[in-house]
Chains A and B, each alone.
Chain A
């Protein structure tokens, strides 16, 4: 069965510091991985997907199949990055399997 693990419930950094939100998954096939973000009082929204290999709002994430990880990174955190971040996996079905989420707090 597929599983997504985000080991940190809370990550607190200072503005301008690098950020890495960890995500590990377990799945035997070739998964599709996503990062979703939920800002305060807003809806859950897609941030990026591994297939597109884009950088969104300065965030990037690389799929490492050997380590079964999809960590989200940003070199210089901004206060407006403070939010809940969820890693999610699609197993070629229609459902998304979410991790437990990491709350990122960027302090001034």
Chain B
């Protein structure tokens, strides 16, 4: 089992462009979580998805951000019209159940907005 995969590992976007971050959960895991880590801060929860459903998006900014976890393929975190404040590390975690202690983390995607 290769673990949670995230790509790209590094992404550079100019202000106004779109950023797409991908997360492939571990085999057998149907629960996916996205967290954001701003510089000098801890990880902050963004969204929790199960296959084809958004379960909790209470940490997601209301505008420009969206997430999906289709029946086939990876989970996608999409940021439209990026701004400098979106520069951060975005971590994905997956789990086989809703239990939080079973979340396995990916290596993260570092987004830099220039």
- Interface residues of chain A, those whose CB is within 8 Å of chain B, are 4, 6, 9, 32, 34, 43-46, 49, 86, 90, 93-101
Contact = CB atoms under 8 A, between A and B. Distances in A.
B42 interface: yes
A43 B56 CA distance: 24
B56 A44 contact: no
A15 to B, nearest CB: 27
B42 A4 contact: yes
B91 A96 contact: no
A95 B42 contact: no
Contact of A95 (B45, B101, B107): B45
Contacts, number: 56
B9 to A, nearest CB: 12
B7 to A, nearest CB: 14
A95 B43 CA distance: 11
Nearest to A87: B42
Given A86-B42, A94-B48, 6 more contacts: A43-B3, A44-B91, A44-B105, A46-B101, A95-B58, A96-B45
Chain B interface residue count: which class? Answer: 20 to 34
Contacts of A46: 101, 103
A90 B100 contact: yes
Given A32-B100, A43-B105, A94-B56, A99 B42 contact: yes
B99 to A, nearest CB: 8
Contacts of B58: 95
Given A95-B33, A95-B59, A101 B100 contact: no
Given A94-B100, A98-B44, A43 B33 contact: no
A95 B105 contact: no
| Residue from A4, A86, A93, A99 having most chain B Cβ neighbours under 10 A | A93
19 contacts: A43-B104, A43-B107, A45-B104, A46-B101, A49-B101, A86-B42, A86-B43, A94-B48, A94-B56, A94-B100, A95-B33, A96-B33, A96-B43, A96-B100, A96-B103, A97-B45, A98-B43, A99-B42, A100-B42
